[in-house]
Structure 1
Amino acid sequence: MFNLFNLTLKLNGFPIEKARIELNKILKIPAENYQGYIENKKREIAVYHLKNNSFYQNLVGTNTFKNWNDLPVITKNDLQKPLHERLSKDYIKKTVFINKTSGSSGDPFIFAKDKEAHAITWASIIYRFGWYNINFNSSYQARFYGIPLDFLGYRKERLKDILSKRYRFPIFDLSDVVLAKILQKFQEKKFDYINGYTSSIVLFGKYLKKKNIVLTDVCPTLKVCMVTSEMLFEEDKILLEKYLGVPIVNEYGASELDLIAFQNPQGEWQVNSETLFVEILDENNQPVANGTEGKIVITSLFNKAHPFIRYEIGDIGILDEASTSKMPILKKLIGRTSDIAILPSGKKSPGLTFYYVTKSIIEDDGNVKEFIIRQTKLDTFEIDYVSSTKLTSLQIQKIEKAIATYLESGLHFTYNRKDVLKRTARGKLKQFESLL
C-alpha cells in the first residue's frame, strides 16, 4: 500500500511518524496516572506561553500563575487581531500551519498551529477513524463539504482531495437533479466511507428514502458515515442508518483545535483527552460538576505557536457523570452560546428547541426538505423552508401550538417558502439565528 496521505503530510513538514509515536505513548498511560499527565501538560503549555508569547502575557497580566482557574478564559473576540501579534517567539508565518475558522459562530479569525501540533492533530484523527477500520492512506472517502469557488482555491482543494483519497460533492446545490448525480457516483465508485456536513448528508438520506433506495445496495463497499459541524437529531440518525445502510458516527471538532469528541463504537461521545483538556464552566468561568451544563472551554495541550488556553469555543454542553480524566464522555451538546433565543417573558431557550419542535411536526409527510429559524424581534420569528408544496394552515397551527406548549405563547411567526436556503461560505447551514 502506497502511503500517499502520510507522504503528503511529511512533504509539508508535518512530522506524522513522530506524532504517532507520541500519541501511542499517551494512549498507554494507565487510567490511575492520567490526571497527573493532564495536570503536567496543562502547566507546561501555560508556562510556555507565559514565557514566550507576549499576546498571552498581556492577556494574563503577569508571566506566572498559581492556580489554573486564575488563568483568563480566551474568547474569539480576543483573537480577532493580526496573527503576527499572537504568534509565540521563534515562530513566524512561514514556519507554521495557518488556517481560518469557519465563522459559523459569527466570529471568524485566522489561527496558527506549529507543525508538531498539527501533526499530532492528524495522528489523533487517524487513530479515531481507525476505530471503524478507516485508513486515510487506503480508504476512499465520499466528501459532502463546501469548496472555495475562486479558481485557485477550487483547484487547491481538488488537489488536496486527490492526495487525501477522497471525492468531493460540493453542497451549495442539493436539488433532486444534483442528488441523482451523486447517487450515480455511488454506483460507479467504491467508496469506503462518507464524511461531511450533517444537513447535506440528511438531505441525501431523504432523497434515498423518496426513491426507496438503500445506499449499500448500490455501493456495497460502504462501511460507515461520519457527520460533522452541525447538530445530528436522533430521528435523522435513524433515517440515515436505514437508507445509507451503515453506522452513523457523530463527530464534534474545531479546525483551530482538533477532534473534540468522537462517537466510539459503544455509542458514547468520547472526548479527546490526549491532545486537549476540556472544561465545562459556568457564567462566572468556574468549573461545574459533571452532569451540569455550561460553556465548553478547551485547552490545546500541544500548540506552542499560538495559545489556545482556556479557549471558549462558543458551545454549551454537559460532561457525563461517569467521565474520568482518561475517558471523559460528552453527555450532550446543547448548541452555540450565540444561538440562544431570549423570549418576551425573559426566558432563555436554546434556538434549537424551536428547530426541534418545528422539525418534529413539519417533517411527518416528508414534504419539507429543510428549514432555518431566525429571531428578528423579542416576540417575532421567521421560518425559511424548502418544500415540494406550501405549508398548510393546519400545519402552521400545529407548529405554533407546539411552540406555545414547549416554550411560551404569544410569539409571532412568518413563513417564507424558498427554492434554496442560504448557507455559509463553507456550505454550513446555520439552523437557528438570533438577530437581536
Structure 2
Amino acid sequence: MFRLFDLSLQLNGFRMKEAQTLFNSILAVPEAEYPQYVENQRRKIAEYHLQHNLFYQKLAGTTEFMSWNDLPVLTKKDLQKPLDERLSKGYRKQSVFVNKTSGSSGDPFVFAKDKEAHALTWASIIYRFGWYGIDFNKSYQARFYGIPLDFIGYRKERLKDFLGRRYRFPIFDLSDRFLEKVLQHFRTKKFDYINGYTSSIVLFAKFLQAKNIILKDLCPTLKVCMVTSEMLFDADKKLLEAQFGIPVVNEYGASELDLIAFQNPQDEWQVNSETLFVEILDENNQPVPHGTEGRIVITALYNKAHPFIRYDIGDVGILDEKSTFKKPLLKKLIGRTNDVAVLPSGKKSPGLTFYYVTKSIIEDDGNVKEFIIRQTKMDAFEIDYVSSEALTPEQIKGIQQAIDTYLEPGLHFTYNRKETLERTLRGKLKQFQSEL
C-alpha cells in the first residue's frame, strides 16, 4: 500500500527514518543502564538550553549546570511571551514546528519543537499505537475532535485528516440527531479504531446503550478505542467497552510535549520514558516518593528549539510504586492543579471529587447525558446538566447527602437543565470550573 501518512510527514520536513532509528536505539537501552541514559540526556538538554537559549538563561539565572534540583520549575505563565523571545539561537519560526496549546488550563501559549524532536514524537506515537495493531498508513480512524470553523482552518484540518486516514466527527453538536448520522458512518465505513475526546465518545456510547447497540456488531473492523484530553472514569471505561465491544485505551498527552502516558496491553498506564522525563514534585519543588501525590513536572529530553525543562504541566498525579526509570507507571491522574474547590471550612478538594461523587448518583439510570459543576461562591455550586427528564427531588437529595458525607455539609447546589453544554473552542468539556 502507498504510505501516504509517512509521505505527509516527510513533505513537512520530518525525517522519520532517522527518528525511528534513534527511537529504536533508546528502546534497546537495557533496564540496568536506563537510569544513566536518563541522567545523561536530561543533563545534555539542560546544558544545551543554558548555553543557547537566552530566555532559559534568564529564568535559571545562570549559564552553568550545577545540579538537576537547582534548575527552576517552568510554569505556563513563564511561557506567555512572544515565541521569538523563547527560541534557542539558530532557530526561527519558519524552521521549526509551531503550534499552540488548547488553553484548557487557563494559560494558553504558542510553543515550538525542532523538526527532529517532533519527528521523534511521531516515532513515539507510532510505537504506542502499534501495541494495538494500528498502522497510521493503513488503519482508518473515526475521530471525535473539535475543528476550526473558519474556512481556511476547516479545509486545512480536513486535508490533514485525509492524509492521516481519519474521518472526523466535529463534536460541537452532540444531539441525538447528529449521533444518528455518526452511527450511519459506522454502518458504512470500515473503521479500525476510534480516537478523540473522552466526554464526546462517552456520550456516543450512552446513545448506543439507549438503542441497545454494540458498535462492533455494526462495524466488525473496529479493533480499539483511544480516549484523550479529559478524565476517563472507571464506570465510563466499562460503559465504552460494553457498548463498543473493543478494548478502550486511556491516553494522557500534551501537544507541547508528546504522549505522556499510554495504557499498555497489560492494562498499565505506562509513562513515556523515551522522549520525556516525568517527575512528581511537592509544593517546595522537591521529588516525592513513588505512591505519593504531587505536581506532574515534565522534561522534553530532545527539544532543542524550545526549553521544556522541569515544566509544570498543571496536573496532579501519582507514580506507581512499581515504577522504574525504563518503565514508569502512572498510578493515578487526579486532575488539574487549578481545578481546586476551596470550601468554607478551609478544606481544599480537587474539583473532580465533586464531579466523581455526583456522577455516581446522577447517572445511575442513564437519564443524565452529561454535566459540569461550577463553583460560584465558597459554599455555592451550580450543576449544568443535559437530560431527557429533569432531576427528581430524590436524586437531588441523594447528591446533597453524598456531598455532605464525602466533602462537608452546608454546601448549596443549584441545578440548571440545559439543551447542550458549553465546550471550549476545541470541543473539550471542562468538567469542573472554579469561578472564585
Q: Which secondary structure state, in structure 1, belongs to the residue aligned with residue 103 of structure 2?
A: coil
Provide, for residues 52-95 of structure 1, a one-character-per-residue CA deviation record: whole Å limited to 9, x for no partner: 00000000001012110000000000000000000000000000
1:99-110 alignment to 2 at 5 Å? 99-110=99-110
Alignment correspondent of 1:61: 61
List gaps (5 residues or longer) in structure 2.
none
Provide, for residues 273-295 of structure 1, a one-character-per-residue CA deviation record: whole Å limited to 9, x for no partner: 00000000000000000000000
* CA distance in 2 between partners of 1:368 and 1:73 (Å): 41
* CA distance in 1 between partners of 2:104 and 2:17 (Å): 33
* CA distance in 2 between partners of 1:358 and 1:12 (Å): 46
Alignment correspondent of 2:305: 305
Provide, for residues 405-426 of structure 1, a one-character-per-residue CA deviation record: whole Å limited to 9, x for no partner: 0000000111110000000000
Aligned-pair CA distance for 1:237: 0.5
Provide, for residues 122-158 of structure 1, a one-character-per-residue CA deviation record: whole Å limited to 9, x for no partner: 0000000000000000000000000000000000000
Q: Which secondary structure state, in structure 2, belongs to the residue aligned with residue 338 of structure 1?
A: coil
List gaps (5 residues or longer) in structure 1.
none
Alignment correspondent of 2:114: 114
Q: Which secondary structure state, in structure 2, belongs to the residue aligned with residue 307 of structure 1?
A: coil
* CA distance in 1 between partners of 2:345 and 2:112 (Å): 43
* CA distance in 1 between partners of 2:405 and 2:190 (Å): 48
Does residue 426 of structure 1 match 2:426?
yes
* CA distance in 1 between partners of 2:93 and 2:357 (Å): 47
Q: Which secondary structure state, in structure 2, belongs to the residue aligned with residue 136 of structure 1?
A: coil
What amino acid sits opposite 2:390 in the alignment?
K
* CA distance in 2 between partners of 1:432 and 1:233 (Å): 14
Alignment correspondent of 2:239: 239
Q: Which secondary structure state, in structure 2, belongs to the residue aligned with residue 429 of structure 1?
A: coil
Q: Which secondary structure state, in structure 2, belongs to the residue aligned with residue 38 of structure 1?
A: helix
Alignment correspondent of 1:180: 180
* CA distance in 1 between partners of 2:39 and 2:65 (Å): 14
* CA distance in 1 between partners of 2:43 and 2:263 (Å): 29
Alignment correspondent of 2:402: 402
Alignment correspondent of 1:280: 280
* CA distance in 2 between partners of 1:293 and 1:259 (Å): 21
Does residue 343 of structure 1 match 2:356?
no
Alignment correspondent of 1:124: 124
Provide, for residues 366-388 of structure 1, a one-character-per-residue CA deviation record: whole Å limited to 9, x for no partner: 11000000001110001000001
Alignment correspondent of 1:162: 162
Alignment correspondent of 2:267: 267
Alignment correspondent of 1:210: 210
Q: What number of residue pairs does the alignment pair up?
A: 436
Structure 1 consecutive aligned stretches of length 4 or more whose deviation exceeds 3 Å: none
Provide, for residues 96-125 of structure 1, a one-character-per-residue CA deviation record: whole Å limited to 9, x for no partner: 000000000000000000000000000000
Q: Which secondary structure state, in structure 2, belongs to the residue aligned with residue 333 of structure 1?
A: strand
Q: Which secondary structure state, in structure 1, belongs to the residue aligned with residue 338 of structure 2?
A: helix
Alignment correspondent of 1:192: 192
* CA distance in 2 between partners of 1:150 and 1:393 (Å): 44
Q: Which secondary structure state, in structure 1, belongs to the residue aligned with residue 98 of structure 2?
A: strand
Alignment correspondent of 1:383: 383
* CA distance in 1 between partners of 2:53 and 2:225 (Å): 40
* CA distance in 1 between partners of 2:284 and 2:433 (Å): 25
* CA distance in 2 between partners of 1:366 and 1:330 (Å): 30
* CA distance in 2 between partners of 1:330 and 1:232 (Å): 14
TM-score, structure 2 length as denominator?
1.00
Alignment correspondent of 2:333: 333
* CA distance in 2 between partners of 1:180 and 1:435 (Å): 35
Aligned-pair CA distance for 1:225: 0.1
Aligned-pair CA distance for 1:16: 0.9
Q: Which secondary structure state, in structure 2, belongs to the residue aligned with residue 144 of structure 1?
A: strand
TM-score, structure 1 length as denominator?
1.00
Alignment correspondent of 2:249: 249
Alignment correspondent of 2:221: 221
* CA distance in 2 between partners of 1:250 and 1:262 (Å): 6
Provide, for residues 283-336 of structure 1, a one-character-per-residue CA deviation record: whole Å limited to 9, x for no partner: 000000000000000000000000000000000000000100000000000000
Aligned-pair CA distance for 1:362: 1.1
* CA distance in 2 between partners of 1:283 and 1:364 (Å): 37
Aligned-pair CA distance for 1:22: 0.3
Q: Which secondary structure state, in structure 1, belongs to the residue aligned with residue 147 of structure 2?
A: coil
* CA distance in 2 between partners of 1:426 and 1:88 (Å): 29
* CA distance in 1 between partners of 2:264 and 2:340 (Å): 29
* CA distance in 2 between partners of 1:268 and 1:255 (Å): 22
Aligned-pair CA distance for 1:392: 1.0
* CA distance in 2 between partners of 1:103 and 1:144 (Å): 19
* CA distance in 1 between partners of 2:188 and 2:175 (Å): 20
Q: Which has the higher mean CA deviation after the structures are superposed, 59-68 or 73-82? A: 59-68
* CA distance in 1 between partners of 2:292 and 2:395 (Å): 36
Aligned-pair CA distance for 1:364: 1.0
* CA distance in 2 between partners of 1:47 and 1:364 (Å): 54
Alignment correspondent of 1:76: 76
Aligned-pair CA distance for 1:393: 1.1
Q: Which secondary structure state, in structure 2, belongs to the residue aligned with residue 252 of structure 1?
A: strand
What amino acid sits opposite 2:28 in the alignment?
K
Q: Which secondary structure state, in structure 2, belongs to the residue aligned with residue 328 of structure 1?
A: coil
* CA distance in 1 between partners of 2:163 and 2:58 (Å): 41
